[in-house]
Amino acid sequence: MKFTVPNILTFIRVLLIPMFVAVVYFPDPWMTSEHSGLLAAIIFIIAAITDAFDGYLARKLNQTTAFGAFLDPVADKLMVMAALIVLVDLQRISSIIALIIIGREITISALREWMAQIGKSANVAVSTLGKVKTIAQMLAIPFLLYNQTFLGFIPCHIIGTLCIIIAAFLTLISMFYYLRVAIKVGF
């Protein structure tokens, strides 16, 4: 494995996952739930920023690696799935929403693997719809982790809930889009 800047950023993202999960569950004597929610949201945002930059830097610095191409989507999925499980546990999102998003991620990962095996991976490359879905998720999760009124007037729970509902809706649409494309070229 080659240690490139993008791969290091991806490793950092993987290491931040247990950190934001642990912070959410800090006991009250250590930190209030408001403070732990804010810190967890900040850690998640930092992880999301590394996600935005690692792929860009890999292309810009010509540092793409097979390992990075493997680890980046795994880190993304672990990050989102861990956050969704925490949010279900905290009763901030419905388990149905988590199942929709997690189920789609597993389905599309398997679909991409299958399409790669038959030499058609370009047909299920990340679409604009998939990117918009990811943005909605990455907006929703920090708001829901914090789950307070921010600066006295920003209702984080409402904004996060709206964004996660949009993300779940886009998740279904993008899944059907990818499945339709795969059916057309794969059979």
pLDDT tens digits, the chain, 187 residues: what are they? 568 888 888 889 999 999 999 999 888 788 888 888 999 999 999 999 988 888 888 888 888 777 777 888 889 899 999 999 999 999 999 999 999 999 998 988 888 787 777 776 665 667 788 788 889 999 999 999 998 877 778 898 999 999 999 999 999 998 888 888 878 776 5
Q: What distances in angstroms separate CA 173 from CA 55, 162, 177, 178, 180, one per listed residue?
A: 25, 17, 6, 9, 11
45, 142 Cβ separation under 8 angstroms: yes
Q: For residue 135, which of 34, 52, 65 has the smallest C-alpha distance?
A: 52
Alpha carbon distance 167, 138 (integer Å): 9
Alpha carbon distance 68, 52 (integer Å): 14
> What are phi and psi for residue 118, nearest 5 degrees?
-100, 10
Q: What distances in angstroms separate CA 33 from CA 6, 36, 37, 65, one per listed residue?
A: 33, 5, 6, 40
pTM of the complete model: 0.87
159, 141 Cβ separation under 8 angstroms: no
Taken in order of first residue, the domains within the chain and their CATH numbers are 5-186 (1.20.120.1760)
- The predicted pLDDT at position 151 comes to 76
Q: What distances in angstroms separate CA 19 from CA 44, 52, 53, 77, 177, one per listed residue?
A: 9, 19, 20, 16, 34
- The predicted pLDDT at position 124 comes to 63
Distance spanning both ends of the chain, measured CA to CA: 36
Alpha carbon distance 138, 89 (integer Å): 18
- The predicted pLDDT at position 31 comes to 81
